[in-house]
Amino acid sequence: MTDDTIDLPALRNEVEARHERMIADLVAYASLETPSDDVDLLEAGLAWIESWLTATAGPAAARRVHVVEGYGDTVTLEYPSPTGSSEWVSALCHYDTVWSEGTLADWPITIDGDVMTGPGVFDMKSGLIQLGHAIAVSDGLGLPRPGVRIVLNGDEEVGSIASRSAIEAEVSRGGAVLVFESAAEGAVKTARKGVGIFEVETFGVEVHAGLHPRSGASAIDEMARIILQLHGAADIDAGTSLNVGIVQGGTRTNVRAGHARASVDVRVTSSDEAARVEALFAGLAPHDPLARVQVTGGWNRPPMERTAVTAALYGRAAAVAATLGFELREVSVGGASDGNFAAALGCAVLDGVGGVGGGAHARHEWISVAGMVERSEFVVALLADLA
């Protein structure tokens, strides 16, 4: 994007003129509790979003819905380019949060100076508000932009189990993928770790531990050996961690345990490391021939690697930010998002395009109110560049 592509003072004036409305919109949106596990609240939240987008950015030209019982619906809304661009961008925006119904009762939305706090304002309700207003500003000023397909899903915080196929189908239609998750201390995310959740069970043979200490087989003994093996396979320098976070087993102190279970969180930065970890779990075997090992679970999200196409997209975004007068940094983070699915399909992905603040999943979650202006301007300018 060159400096004369956009009238920057006009862009800034238009976004700043909308600032108070943006704040009010975010307060209204965040005042709707949308926990991942409450379908009725998710339905109400989604209805508000669609109504708000129609009022803010105009009616969508197309709407696709993906329904899985027990989860919030996944809805795609298409906003074709008003300037004739044949390019498209997918904007991934989840509307669920980790916060249960009733959280607002003792943690209401509050604004103190530049800080707005409340459940979901950072992760990731501010991102959607900024996107909606960016589309409105772009179209109101007659600026070029690609078509935008907004993908709204209500189960991201529980692994996007129901929405994954819909997300993959939408991003496969082509174009860059912008994920309106919160920024990482202002930086966008060009790489994320893949996440796996594995369940390991060991089965022994119960006998009296005092009368027959050499008989039977202890499931706990087997699990202890496996835990050491799993933790020993971590390679922190390579970005691979294995954490046995939950262990259960046994029935009585005087009985050799017949069963034990462990839940394991795995994080990897590359497909090669994912393959190594898969082989590790597949090769787990009992020490005692009377015992048995069973592994279930698997990968929740593949790694989001910094590919050449993602690096190129980041380069364009950084150049756009420079024309607006700020430096756009990039980082790699340990958490995963729906951007992981898109990256695994070969898409160029820029994650963390949403709110600037901190405290995701914590009761001090917050965003910078002033930061909404800068990020909205940035999205408008980036869409112009991608057109």
Q: What is the pLDDT of residue 349?
A: 98
- Alpha-carbon distance of 162 to 341, in angstroms, equals 13
Amino acid at 371: G
| Helix, strand, coil share (%) of the chain residues, nearest 5 | 35, 25, 35
Q: Which pair of tokens denotes residue 225? A: 């050996």
pLDDT at 4: 56
- For residue 156, indicate whether it is catalytic: yes
Q: 106 — phi, psi (to 5°)?
A: -115, 5
Which of the following is catalytic: 155, 156, 305, 338?
156
The hierarchical CATH code for the domain 194-301 is 3.30.70.360
What is the location of CATH 3.40.630.10 in the chain? 8-191+304-386
Q: Report d(CA 206, CA 127) in Å as an integer.
A: 55
Burial of 92 by CB count in 10 Å (0-12 exposed, 13-18 middle, 19+ buried)? Answer: buried
The full DSSP string for 339-355 is HHHHHHTT--EEB--S-
CATH number for the 8-191+304-386 domain, one of 3.30.70.2190, 3.40.630.10, 3.40.50.1010, 3.30.1780.10?
3.40.630.10
> Rounded to 5 degrees, what angle do the CA atoms 196, 34, 132 make?
95
Q: Is 327 a catalytic residue?
A: no
Catalytic option among 14, 33, 73, 96:
96
3-state secondary structure of 264: strand
**Using CA atoms, how far apart are residues 275 and 175, in angstroms rounded to an integer?**
28
pLDDT tens column, 13-46? 999 999 999 999 999 999 999 999 999 999 999 9
pLDDT beneath 70: ranges in the chain: 1-4
Where in the chain is CATH 3.30.70.360? 194-301
Per the DSSP assignment, residues forming a β-bridge with 150 are 77, 91
Whether 174 and 115 have beta carbons less than 8 Å apart is answered as no
300 near 196, Cβ under 8 Å? yes
Can you give the pLDDT at residue 2?
A: 44
**How high does pLDDT run on average in the chain?**
97
Model confidence over 151-202: pLDDT tens digits? 999 999 999 999 999 999 999 999 999 999 999 999 999 999 999 999 999 9
Give me the pLDDT at residue 241, please.
Answer: 97
